[in-house]
Amino acid sequence: AEHMETINRETLQADFDAFDISEEFGFLLEEPLVSFIVTFSFLITIDIFCLYSLCRMSLMPVLIPNLLNDHRELSLAHLALGFISMGYVWQEGQHAPAQVLPKALAVPYWLISRRLGLPPILTYADSVLSNWKLRDPTGNMEIGNMDLIFSFPGGESCRGFFIVSLLVELAASSGIGALEVMHAMKSSDVAGIQNGLVKVTQSLKKMKETFKLMHSKFKLNLSPIFVSGWRDNPMLPNGLLYEGVSTEPMFLSGGSAAQSSAIQCFDALLCIQHEDETGAFLTRMRDYMPPAHCQLIETLSARPSLRDLILSCSSSDLCQAYNSCVSAMVDLRSYHLYAVQKYIIGPGNHTMGCPLRGVGTMLNDKGTGGSNLMGFLKGVCNTTKKALISERPSVPRENVMSFNI
């Protein structure tokens, strides 16, 4: 047993390395840099909201990021340029967005994005997974000790939104049990599959409880225009031109929770199949995730179906573990739906840029109303419910372990 434990730990560590995740931090970037040693340091030291005028942009040098080699340096540069670019595009508000991103921003942003395998726009991975630091480096990762590297106007409300989102992602770290399920399936280890599902269930429950902090500790009064993208956006119907990069405008989606690597990993593990436009949209959102995270989702998706395995197995305990996990996912999505209805749609907060709002216009080109977002969230919640196994078919005992993985 001790030998098997060593093998399992070594296998899991190899997965952690391959998919750029960790047992402690999950999908979060571990210990993000907060400053540069080389020429990009001025992006950190100045007030980024002083950069949003055309005259200042024309005076900025076009920086070539050839001195940035470390992954964390590149991530910080992508984060900084993302916040500055979003501020520049939306500096005049939703009625007069910039049509062109100046080459001083566009060129280094494009080059850094290519090296990271990310698009040149502020993503969920930037603003949530990579955008954190500890006020007291010796303290714990708890809400009172967390701070952002970059933030938008909005004070504690904005800070709270992103930090709670980050802590929700941190709560997903125990959901690395998904990897345990994947490896247990290879050896037809029913107990291992069940134990992994229990860990994922616990993680999903913790994510929901952490999500509640957003509304219990912070008054949501967001002006989220700054995370709006330029795809399927009626305010930028022709996209955004990246000067010095392309002669044609680009069409890129803004950051949203649909880009959460953790949630899509759990969907893939549990074989939750989102269909038609919703499924296509969620698949496209993987282009906005770190490539290693996207690879993990695709690896889980390519495995034989866990749900089919359970349907072919007579273990009621395994079936219950699976249903508990799916139910926890339904609860998380239901609370997300409730929170959007109460705190975003209900108050009439249809201003551009809500970090939860980006999905709406991406899925529907008719407008930016909250009803589109609500339709999306209701759809993914209902699809998740359909994964529940209502009745376990009777299977002869001799077939319990006959599935091939």
What's the chain's average pLDDT? 82
Beta partners for residue 146, in sequence order: 134
- Which of 199-208, 238-247, 389-398 has the weakest average pLDDT? 389-398
398 inside domain: no
Q: Which domain holds residue 275?
A: 1-348+366-387
Residue 293, marked binder? no
Q: How many folded domains does the chain comprise?
A: 1
332 contact partners, CB below 8 Å, separation of at least 6: 204, 207, 208, 211
DSSP per-residue letters across 352-365: TT-TTTHHHHHH-T
- Residues 205-233 have pLDDT tens digits of 999 999 988 776 655 555 567 788 999 88
Residue 314 confidence (pLDDT) above 70: yes
241 contact partners, CB below 8 Å, separation of at least 6: 99, 100, 101, 248, 249, 250
217 inside domain: yes
Distance, in Å, from the CA atom of 77 to the CA atom of 259, rounded to the nearest integer, reads 20
Assigned token pair, 173 = 């770290």
Tell me which range, 48-52, 223-227, 296-300, 355-359, is most confidently predicted by mean pLDDT.
Answer: 296-300
- Residues 156-174 have pLDDT tens digits of 777 888 898 999 999 998 7
204 within 8 A of 178, measured Cβ to Cβ: no
Residue 376's nearest CA partner among 333, 329, 332, 326 is: 333
327 inside domain: yes
Helix or strand or coil: residue 394?
coil
Phi/psi of residue 242, nearest 5 degrees: -95, 100
| Neighbour-count burial of 114, counting CB atoms closer than 10 A to its CB (0-12 exposed, 13-18 middle, 19+ buried) | exposed
308 inside domain: yes
Q: Give the domain CATH number at 107.
A: 1.20.58.480
pLDDT of residue 368: 28
Assigned token pair, 359 = 């999905």
Distance, in Å, from the CA atom of 54 to the CA atom of 83, rounded to the nearest integer, reads 16
- What's this model's pTM, rounded to 2 decimal places? 0.86
Distance, in Å, from the CA atom of 236 to the CA atom of 248, rounded to the nearest integer, reads 14
329 inside domain: yes
404 inside domain: no
288 inside domain: yes
| Residue in this structure with the two tokens 């409300």, named with its chain if needed | 157
